[in-house]
Structure 1
Amino acid sequence: MQSAQGFNQLASILSNPILNTDSYKASHYLQYPPGVSAMFSYIESRGGRYERTLFFGLQMLLKEYLCRPVTVAMIDEARAFFSAHGEPFNEAGWRHVVEHCGGYLPVRIRAVPEGSVVPTHNVLVTVECDDPQAFWLASYLETMLLRVWYPVTVATQSWYLRKLIRASLLRSSDDLSQLPFKLHDFGARGVSSAESAAIGGAAHLVSFMGSDTVLGVVAANHYYNETMAAFSVPAAEHSTITAWGREREIDAYRNMIERFGKPGAIVSVVSDSYDLFAALDAWGTELKQAVLDSGGTLVIRPDSGDPRTIVLQTLRSLEASFGSVTNSKGRRVLNNVRVIQGDGVNPDSIAAILAAMDEAGFAADNIVFGMGGALLQQINRDTQRFAMKCSAIRIGDAWHDVAKDPVTDHAKRSMKGRLTLLRHRRTGEYRTATLPLAWDEQTAAGEWDDALITVFDSGRLLADLSLADIRSRAHADEMDGSGAVGPSDV
């Protein structure tokens, strides 16, 4: 019973928006100039590994954290914490939220539609609070809202990898329909928390439909109105092979085919528990007929060694046993078998493996990638240099620009004014602009649309997008055959 109570207390803490912040935020309401009545902040990627970002994940954060009202109990909990923690507490401000706003935060959040691919150095989200008693909320929420960097960065990396793999398929394959299943999420055990698995795992699914990160699929279904966002197949792990003992390794493999092999099915079997090359030989001799008779596709997973070298060795061994056909691109496609590489997979190794396969005459059809830590964990806020900054305050009735410009690092210069994002109707170009809009020869009225939409206002979610719509927006460039990238872009 004590354990259950402890869990419930933790869940309560994580769901209290007053505590979902940094300690120093508690004192900031006392630090602003007298007379401030409104505040405006924005989020941007200030550059980084990729030149564009795929915006995704804000809807999850809003649904989970801001669509429930603040309560008196939450205020009491936060007051007790901050008083013991050494920080002042704005009890009057939070009680105003409960008593005059029904507990819903009086903030307006506008954002580019999720699935939009926007060049860096542009505003992606704006947060405005024009309630004089709670204007500071536009900055107080920074800690929680800026965590959108994580799903955006995961979604961006997966988007670029989809472009890379797509380019390889265009060069070497007759079947582009396999693209959504070429990069499988293996990252659940390598992340820092269940919440990271859910958020990052969902972000990957903007570009792909294969995942073993259950919480990511559940999150995509739940927060983005999807019936089933991704799929998986029966697959062996080392314990299910080694439990048979080395002397019965072939029996373990045969069991996989007997249990899961059937016409049209895919069965993945890790085969390096002892001697990969001996296992490949067994698959191509005494187990070959069982594979053929099953009518399914056997996917071999080598899980150790240099990825580029091992993939080529595995492909050549399987080709010698099962044969191949040559497609219209002059590349060879294995019969009945494929390879999934799940060890040492990152953007660089994917590019290297695909290039080596192409040079050796193998189609990209033959490979699926399983990506773990590099997909969901080997990124951080600085990967795309995300920041949320106040850019304007209202004192009395007049708005004033706010910005930083450190002499020691001009890359950290922030934008000023009340901002929005414009998109050119014909070219699709994005441009950050200041409100009120001042049209000139560079941004002629009638040629540009406001690309930001109001997604949240005072506790109400105003946009509830589906994953299907987000995927369509993210990959719209594929419809006209454009959008391919090369290894240097990844």
Structure 2
Amino acid sequence: MSRTNPILNTDSYKLGHFLQYPPGTQALSGYITTRGTSMRPEIVFFGLQAFLKEYLSQPVTAIDIAEAQDIAALHGQPFDRSGWQHILNAHGGFLPLRIEALPEGSFIHRGVPMVQVVSTDPACFWLTSYIETALLRAIWYPSAVATSLRDVKQTLMPYLKNSCDDPDGVIATRLADYGARGATSLEQAGLGGLATLLHFDNTDTLEAIVYARRYYGAKMAGFSVPASEHTTMIAWPQSEEDASFAHMVDQFGDYPTYSVVSDSYDIHNAVSELWGKALQQKVRSKPGTLIVRPDSGDPIDVPVQTVAQLAYHFGTRLNAKGFKVLDDKVRVLQADGVSLRDITMILGRLEGMGFSAENITFGIGASQLQKINRSIYSFTMKCTALMDDKGRWRDISRRPVTMHERLPEVGRRAVVFEANEFTSVRLEELGRRENHLQPVWENGNLLRECSFDEVRQRVRTKHRQDF
């Protein structure tokens, strides 16, 4: 990512908020949560560590201050030159904030704080609210993607439990992320792809792999396979389609798995005549598994027919649950514009025909990375406590007369684990219970670091418990 001026990583109107608080204010405390109620934990918290390492680790510089002052003046906003200069002089440019958070990968009810922020220097108490824009944006997007993909996983799991011998072992390979080109930016592809990898192992979003290494220390967080695309296949004329397929087998048949898009001209001919007859022995002669990719045509009928045709030509075996599994040399991947509704219809139809769900995998793209917004799960950050000039904390909250919405809980919060769920309590009522909102960042220092494997294990263990 290119360097961002930390002072300008906020909303315009926040530039003038340093002038608006009561005299003598010493500190502010606020937290990020999701509005509303839920009968069960449904929110997956993820993405904070990437923000801390990428953005809060960048100190404010004199150049940043000069740029922000110039922009504020031209933009019609006041600017706290002395406050930012104090941050530069007294703190080396690092924001004097303490950030507490739940373990990433935690599952929580709506309304439970996942991150809590408090200012640590009375000279710039206003930073707690100032950072809201950047911090909330950094958390809501990867958390929303991770939450949405958990719902996808829960939708797929019953089909696997019904028809697969090892549904827990199979589930992580049922979806592959091909969403990079549908994202609005490199960062969105990286964060969204990284959130996807919490649930599923397969990805072609390289930036997700980079982010997992850079921010969570993962040597390799996801896997890909050699695969063709239409450009490489139609470079061969239709009269040489058999040669193009044979060339793929020659080039990649020694890999554990390789994928060949097979609908460039006629998917039915490709499956029944080329893969099923002309090239079957060639495919069998290689150690790798061929993944046949039928991209075009009816998104439900074509992949089902492809599985059936491959079963006819390559044969099947029955698993312990009595469902047909294709010969280990072939599998099917449906990846073109497939929706969750399409996936369930495909799996339902295959199950009705006696085929196991493990015969087919699916590709997901922009639908999971793009069709997400903050309002889906109502992510919000609210300041709920203020320290006055006598060092006393007092609750702050709006109390509109005409509104009936459930407002965030006031005061400084703690999160305890009771009845197998996270619950929010007032900090002063914590007692001897463990507070799971643990300090992870203070005044420019990363206090606690989690690995991607730890986060992924937390997510997947909870998924297995749910089933």
Q: Does 1:98 align with 2:88?
A: yes
Contact 1:22 1:143 in 2 (8 A): yes
- Which runs of structure 2 are paired with 1:156-167 in the superposition (5 Å)? 156-167=147-158
Aligned-residue RMSD, C-alpha = 1.9
Post-superposition CA distance 1:435-463 (Å, at most 9, x none): 2116xxxxxx65x4211111101100111
Q: Which runs of 5+ in 2 are unaligned?
A: none
Correspondence 1:62 to 2:47 = no
Match of 2:350, as an amino acid?
A: M
SS state at 1:123 partner: coil
1:366-381 → structure 2 map (5 Å cutoff):
366-381=359-374
Which residue is equivalent to 2:6? 17
1:390 aligns with 2:383: yes
Of 16, 24, 36, the match for 1:35: 24
The answer to whether the 8 Å contact 1:146/1:388 transfers is: yes
- Alpha carbons 2:141, 2:374 under 8 Å: kept: yes
Aligned mates of 1:168, 1:313 — CA distance in 2:
18
State the match for 1:289 in structure 2.
281
Question: What residue number does 1:441 align with?
Answer: none
Work out the CA distance in 2 between the residues paired with 1:277 and 1:380: 39
CA distance in 2, matches of 1:16, 1:307: 46
Q: Secondary structure at the match of 1:254?
A: helix
C-alpha distance in 2 between matches for 1:407 and 1:330: 62
Contact 1:392 1:416 (C-alpha < 8 Å) held by counterparts: yes
> Could you tell me how far 1:51 is from its partner in structure 2?
5.4
Match for 2:146: what amino acid? A
- Deviation track 1:71-119 (CA, whole Å, cap 9, x = no partner) reads 1111111111111111111111111111112211111111110011112
Deviations 1:355-404 (A, max 9, x none): 22222211111011110011211111112111111111122222221223
Within a 5 Å distance, the mapping from 1:75-154 to structure 2 comes to 75-147=65-137, 148-154=139-145
Change (3 A) 1:126 1:221: same
Distance 2:296 2:88 in 1: 57
CA distance in 2, matches of 1:314, 1:121: 46
Deviations 1:172-208 (A, max 9, x none): 1123433322211100000000011111111111122
Matches of 2:346 and 2:15 in 1, distance apart?
50
- Cα gap change, 1:48 to 1:185, in 2 (>3 Å): farther
Which segment drifts farther, 157-166 or 32-41?
Answer: 157-166
SS at match of 1:26: helix
Sort the Cα spacing of 1:339 and 1:219 in 2 relative to 1 into closer, same or farther, 3 A. Answer: same
**Corresponding residue of 2:235:** 243
Deviation at 1:412, TM superposition (A): 6.0
1:40/1:128 contact within 8 Å kept: yes
Aligned to 1:208: 200
Which residue number in structure 2 is paired with residue 26 of structure 1?
Answer: 15
Instruction: State which of 206, 213, 227 in structure 2 corresponds to 1:221.
Output: 213
Q: Are 2:466 and 1:483 aligned? A: yes
**Distance (Å, rounded) in 1 between the aligned partners of 2:378 and 2:300:** 31
Deviation, 1:476, is 2.0
Q: Is the 8 A contact 2:41 2:421 kept in 1?
A: no
Instruction: Extract unaligned runs of 5+ from structure 1.
Output: 1-9, 439-444, 485-490
1:26 maps to a residue whose letter is L
Q: Name the structure 1 match of 2:245.
A: 253
In 1, Cα distance between equivalents of 2:459 and 2:251: 38
The separation in 2 between residues aligned to 1:269 and 1:119, in whole angstroms, is 43
The alpha carbon displacement at 1:405 in A equals 4.8
Q: What is aligned with 1:449?
A: 434
In the alignment, structure 1 residue 420 sits paired with structure 2 residue 414: yes
Partner of 2:305: 313
SS at match of 1:104: coil
Counterpart for residue 354 of structure 2: 361
Asked if 1 retains the 8 angstrom alpha-carbon contact of 2:36 and 2:406, the reply is no
Quick one: which of 328, 337, 343 aligns to 1:344? 337
What does the per-residue CA deviation read over 1:198-246, in whole Å, with 9 as the maximum and x for residues that have no partner?
A: 1111111112221100001110111111111111000010101111122
Partner AA of 1:292 in structure 2: R
Which shifted more, 36-45 or 246-255?
246-255
The residue that corresponds to 1:275 in the other structure is 266
Name the CA distance, whole Å, in 1 between partners of 2:282 and 2:404. Answer: 65
> What secondary structure does 2:417 align onto?
strand
Cα gap change, 1:269 to 1:402, in 2 (>3 Å)? same
Mapped to 2, the partners of 1:384 and 1:395 lie a distance apart of 33
TM-score (norm 1): 0.90
When residues 296 and 402 of structure 1 are mapped into structure 2, their CA distance, relative to the original with a 3 A threshold, is same
Distance 2:107 2:361 in 1: 25
Deviation, 1:42, is 0.7
Which letter maps to 1:400? Answer: R
- The answer to whether residue 225 in structure 2 is matched with residue 233 in structure 1 is yes
8 Å Cα contact 1:406/1:412 also seen in 2 = no
Secondary structure of residue in 2 paired with 1:285: helix
**What TM-score comes out, normalization by structure 2 length?**
0.94
Aligned partner of residue 464 in structure 1, secondary structure? coil
Identical aligned residues as a percent: 43
Deviation track 1:4-28 (CA, whole Å, cap 9, x = no partner) reads: xxxxxx934xx21101111111111
Q: Contact 1:18–1:74 (CA<8 Å) still a contact in 2? A: yes
Q: Report if the CA contact (8 A) 1:406-1:413 is conserved.
A: no
Give, as a single letter, the amino acid of the residue that structure 2 aligns with 1:29: F
Kindly tell me: are residues 130 and 295 of structure 1, through their superposed partners in 2, closer, same or farther at Cα, counting changes over 3 Å?
A: closer
CA contact (8 A) 2:233 2:244 kept: yes
